Amino acid sequence: MIPSISVVLATRRRAHLLAPLVAAVLGDPATEEFVVVVDGPDDASMGTLAALAVRHPRLTAFDVPHMGQQRALDAAIARVGSEVVLTLDDDVLPDPGLVSGHARRHQDDEDLVVVGAMPVVIGSQDRASVGTRLYAEEYESRCRSWASGRADVLENLWGGNFSLRRRHAVAVGLHSGRYDHHYHADQDFGFRLAEAGLRGVFDPSLRAVHLHHRSNTSFLRDARRQGAAWRTLCQTHPGRAGAEHELAARRLGSPLRATVALAAATPAATPIAHSLLLGGTALRSVGVPGADVNAARLARRIMQRRGAGHS
């Protein structure tokens, strides 16, 4: 028998994305309820959701004091009565049948974590930021590694479109008392799900579009936060985390690794990283293919090292 399924989502200051998302989720008849928690304060999102709830009785919205995405999702899951919960990010727009498809995958196995695809659709290479293009490229690489079996889904969990039995979500908890960063929180959750005996599967047919966008400033700020989070993740899960970061560092080669280390250690790390982004964009504009993406990788690595304490 196909289990009942509810969708949960935590949102913050993205009211403009909510109407199409609510329509897509509740357009699937399998959705028993859609529980949205506003990680406040955010009057605009609450107002938008209140208006939408008038037309959509299966929509429940409430707000909480700002506590971070994982804690907010735990609060939403606590209000759900279905057997399965599907968690979505607020910038992910489901294709038709996504919720139904997730429910079917849990029909014969109660210990699955089902991860769907959420590709970034880039209409114009010239309009998309370099951060978005780099994210899209690396996400597609991750999907290929999942599909081929080169990467374990739970050891490399990428949140935004995944489902599991509600009882497992409650027992494990999306938020960990040992790990309290926004970045890499999905990987921390994946490690803990694996420790609890669950198995991850990737189903590319369960598709949603990721409406990803990052400005250069946001891209570098996020990279610094990623570095700080990576350091904590390695301390929280010794021997399990950090391998991808070390591989990325080795790919740079010795001269570039030394350059990154020097740049990360200087107070001018952020201006250096910004200059790299601008230089890469300029080179691409005069016909050097891939110059902006390569420069973005280098700039990101500098900021990640800066955030990790220059390690």
Q: Give Cβ neighbours of residue 306 (< 8 Å, ≥ 6 apart).
A: 224, 227, 264, 269, 270
122/22: higher pLDDT? 22
Q: Are residues 32 and 56 in the same domain?
A: yes
Q: Are residues 152 and 243 in the same domain?
A: no
Q: Are residues 96 and 202 in the same domain?
A: yes
Checking DSSP bridges between strand 112-117 and strand 161-165, what pairing results, if any? Answer: antiparallel
Q: Are residues 108 and 9 in the same domain?
A: yes
Q: How confident is the model at residue 22 (pLDDT cuts 50, 70, 90)?
A: very high
Q: Are residues 167 and 278 in the same domain?
A: no
240/97: higher pLDDT? 97
pLDDT given for residue 257 in this prediction: 82
User: Domain end: 190, 210, 230, which one?
Assistant: 210
Q: Are residues 94 and 242 in the same domain?
A: no
Q: Are residues 95 and 183 in the same domain?
A: yes
Alpha-carbon span 75 to 63, nearest angstrom? 10
CB-based burial label for 289 (10 Å; 0-12, 13-18, 19+): exposed
pLDDT digits (tens, 9 = 90+) for 237-292: 988 765 555 545 555 666 788 889 999 999 999 999 999 999 999 999 999 999 99
Q: Are residues 205 and 221 in the same domain?
A: no
Residues forming beta bridges with residue 11, ordered by sequence position = 38
Q: Is the pLDDT of residue 142 over 50?
A: yes
User: What mean pLDDT do residues 42-64 have?
Assistant: 98
Q: Are residues 146 and 186 in the same domain?
A: yes
User: Domain end: 210, 225, 256, which one?
Assistant: 210
Alpha-carbon span 130 to 54, nearest angstrom? 40
User: What mean pLDDT do residues 12-40 have?
Assistant: 98
Assign residue 49 the CATH number of its domain: 3.90.550.10
Alpha-carbon span 221 to 223, nearest angstrom? 5
User: What mean pLDDT do residues 202-212 have?
Assistant: 97
36/214: higher pLDDT? 36
Q: Are residues 148 and 252 in the same domain?
A: no
CA distances from 184 to 9, 45, 136, 157, 226 (A): 18, 25, 17, 9, 7
pLDDT digits (tens, 9 = 90+) for 115-130: 999 999 886 655 778 9
Q: Which domain holds residue 237?
A: 216-307
Q: Are residues 183 and 241 in the same domain?
A: no
Alpha-carbon span 217 to 109, nearest angstrom? 44
Q: Does this model's pTM top 0.75? A: yes
User: Domain end: 181, 210, 239, which one?
Assistant: 210
Q: Are residues 157 and 39 in the same domain?
A: yes
Q: Is the pLDDT of residue 155 over 60?
A: yes
Q: How many domains does the chain have?
A: 2
